[in-house]
Amino acid sequence: MNVFAVPDLPEIRAGDDLGALIDERVDVRADDIICVASTVVSKANGRTVDLADVTAGSRAIEIAERLESLTGEEKDPRFAQVVLDESTDLLLSAPFLLTETPFGHITVNAGIDRSNVPDADLVLLPSEPSTTAEALSAALGAPVIVTDTCGRPFRHGQRGVAIGWAGLPASRDWRGEYDRDGHELEVTVEAVVDELAAAANLLSGEGDGGTPAVVIRDFEFGDHGGSDELFRTYDGDLVRQALEEWEYR
């Protein structure tokens, strides 16, 4: 498999046609997988916010005050308001905001980012990243993954994950196949779109690289079943259920 960045993409602004910008720069093959950082999807879709345009409500003010007293850092209640506006569920309100987005992704601060947004204070996550991935996939004639850089529970450091995808299944299913020992695999469903997103993120970096789109070439999904289940729902998520006992909800 080969992984390379799409060269010379400009600063992305609202209304830009990402599919056309990528298509002009790469001879996309039908079995390539194009990974696009959520930041540029959001900028193209105008999903940016200036804090001056936000009025914090009482819940946001209460959350920011408590965060401030717990962390000793200044917290802007307007930022908390934007996080609440972008979230369908609040799993933790302290010592940081852990929320669920409308499309089922659970992440800190609803994935709202301050980096690489020259024209605004904040960039939100795309509202429907799989819908965007479908449109880009149709335009490019290849599978597409929309990625974001995310922290992990239990481990230091961040890595790329898939938040939307089209043209390939999210996971490949090894259940019913055999290991080298003839032992039947019973539980392994491999989150392929996250693994590919991590590879793309490794190349795109987090800073001023200017490489928000990455082509993965000659990856073979293989002869496996696939599934599009990536985000656990409340009922199947023991960790999320356990968080209900935490004192800061």
- Per-residue b or e along 7-46, where b marks 16 or more CB atoms closer than 10 Å to that residue's CB: eebeebeeebebbebbbeebebeeebbbbbbbbbbbbbbe
> If you search the block for the tokens 């959350």, which residue do you land on?
63
Q: What is the DSSP letter of 186?
A: -
Residue 94: CB minimum distance to Mn ion, A: 22
The one of ligand GDP, Mn ion, none whose footprint includes residue 225, by CB under 5 to 8 A per kind, is: none
Query: What Å distances lie between residue 204 and 106, 117, 125, 149, 218, CA to CA?
Result: 22, 16, 17, 10, 19
Nearest approach, Cβ of residue 30 and ligand GDP (Å): 25
- Of the candidates 110, 89, 86, 109, the one whose C-alpha atom is nearest the C-alpha of residue 244 is 89
User: Is the CB of 32 or the CB of 113 nearer to ligand GDP?
Assistant: 113
Shortest separation between residue 148's beta carbon and Mn ion, angstroms: 5
- How far is Cα 93 from Cα 145, in angstroms, rounded to an integer? 30
Residue type, 152: R
Residue in 181, 186, 208, 223 binding ligand GDP, rule: CB under 6 A: 208
Q: Which residues bind Mn ion (CB under 5 A)?
A: 113, 148-149, 206
* Greatest alpha-carbon span in the chain: 62
Q: 32, 100, 113, 121: which one contacts ligand GDP (CB under 6 A)?
A: 113
Q: Which does 99 bind (CB under 5 to 8 A by kind): Mn ion, ligand GDP, none?
A: none
Q: Which one, 98 or 123, has the nearer CB to ligand GDP?
A: 123
Is 205 a residue that touches ligand GDP (CB under 6 A)?
A: yes
Contact call for residue 12 and ligand GDP (CB under 6 A): yes
Assess contact for 51 and 81: CB atoms under 8 A: no
- Among 204, 215, 219, 230, the residue binding ligand GDP under the rule CB under 6 A is 204
Q: To which residue do tokens 């009025």 refer?
A: 55
Q: Which of 154, 123, 102 is nearest to 45 (CA)?
A: 123
Nearest distance from C-beta of residue 103 to ligand GDP, angstroms: 15
Convert residues 18-37 into a mask of x (bound to ligand GDP by CB under 6 A) and - (unbound): -------------------x
Note whether 141 binds ligand GDP by CB under 6 A. Answer: no
- Name the site residues for ligand GDP (rule: CB under 6 A): 9-12, 37-40, 43, 113, 115-116, 148-149, 204-212
